[in-house]
């Protein structure tokens, strides 16, 4: 069975601090896909990144970076120099295929960035 | 691209009434998903369609829930009769099975309150 664990339920940081959100996954598949989504207070779910299991390169997009390590089954998300607008719930997700079968979400981490 | 469009944004109904939630996926997407989000259970996949055909409805809670996709541009999720425990945010999402894949694109959700 597939499972995604986000052990941090809530994190609070002060603006401009760096913060890392942890994601640990379980799967027996050799091919799989990992995702991060952001859910701001307005409620919509915003896609942030998709990574396939064959690509372990870290990725950086502006203040966001992702660290994928198959050896530890982790796909962690770091926000550098956090801003108040980063306050949201962040979901890590795992899929067997990109088009949706067995797409499993983690429970989410609520990030509060204080001014 | 207008994104995935859901209506209504908010719905308040009395127990026992029929509720219909609507979704217009992104044009060209061949997969459509209905999710439910609650505090207790997080994000749950209810049902998904491929090319308008229901593929997996194992997440539908019970017979009171039904979903249809009469064409590629429209889907409905119906609850009849509604119960207070159905109160949740219902998300529709769509994706396509080819190309690089951008994960799911979610609609803004419908917040359902059954009183």
Q: Give the confidence band of B9 by pLDDT, cuts at 50, 70, 90.
A: very high
* pLDDT computed for residue B98 by the predictor: 55
User: DSSP per residue over B32-87, as a string?
Assistant: EEEEEEETTTEEEEEEEEETTEEEE-TT--STTEEEEEEETTEEEEEESS--GGG-
* pLDDT computed for residue A97 by the predictor: 63
Interface of B with A in 58-87 (CB under 8 A): none
Average pLDDT over residues B61-65: 91
Cβ within 8 Å, pair B107-A44: yes
Cβ within 8 Å, pair A105-B93: no
Of A74-83, A85-94, B92-101, the range with the lowest mean pLDDT is B92-101
Taking only the tens place, the pLDDT of each residue in A12-46 is 999 999 999 999 999 998 888 899 999 999 889 99
* pLDDT computed for residue A73 by the predictor: 96
* Chain B environment of A91 (Cβ under 8 Å): 43
Average pLDDT over residues B59-67: 92
* Closest chain A residue to the Cα of B98, Cα to Cα: A99
* Chain B environment of A35 (Cβ under 8 Å): 103
CA distance B62 to chain A (A): 20
Reported for B64-71, long-range contacts at CB under 8 A and 24+ positions apart, including other chains, are: B67/B34, B69/B32
Average pLDDT over residues A68-83: 96
Closest CA relative to residue B91, chosen from B13, B41, B22, B28: B22
Distance CA B16, CA B13 (A): 9
| A102 has pLDDT over 80 | no
Cβ within 8 Å, pair B97-A99: yes
Distance CA A40, CA A60 (A): 21
């Amino acid at each position: 069975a597939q499972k995604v664990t986000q052990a941090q339920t809530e994190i609070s940081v002060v603006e401009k601090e760096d913060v890392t959100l942890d994601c640990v996954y379980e799967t027996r598949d050799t091919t799989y896909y990992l995702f991060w989504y952001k859910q701001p207070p307005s409620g919509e779910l915003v896609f942030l990144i998709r990574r396939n299991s064959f690509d372990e390169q870290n990725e950086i997009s502006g203040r966001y970076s992702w660290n994928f390590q198959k050896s530890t089954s982790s796909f962690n998300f770091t926000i550098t120099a956090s801003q108040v607008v980063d306050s949201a719930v962040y979901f890590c997700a795992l899929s067997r295929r990109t088009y949706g079968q067995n797409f499993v979400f983690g429970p989410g981490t609520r990030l509060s960035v204080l001014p | 691209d207008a994104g995935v469009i859901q209506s209504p944004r908010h719905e308040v109904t009395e127990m026992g009434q029929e509720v219909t939630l609507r979704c217009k996926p992104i044009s060209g997407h061949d997969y459509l998903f209905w999710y439910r989000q609650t505090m207790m259970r997080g994000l749950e996949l209810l049902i998904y369609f491929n090319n308008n055909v229901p593929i997996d409805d194992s997440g539908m809670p019970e017979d009171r829930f039904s979903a249809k996709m009469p064409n590629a541009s429209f889907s409905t999720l119906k609850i009849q009769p509604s119960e207070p425990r159905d109160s949740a945010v219902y998300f529709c999402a769509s994706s396509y099975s080819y190309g690089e894949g951008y994960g799911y694109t979610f609609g803004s959700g419908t917040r359902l309150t059954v009183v």
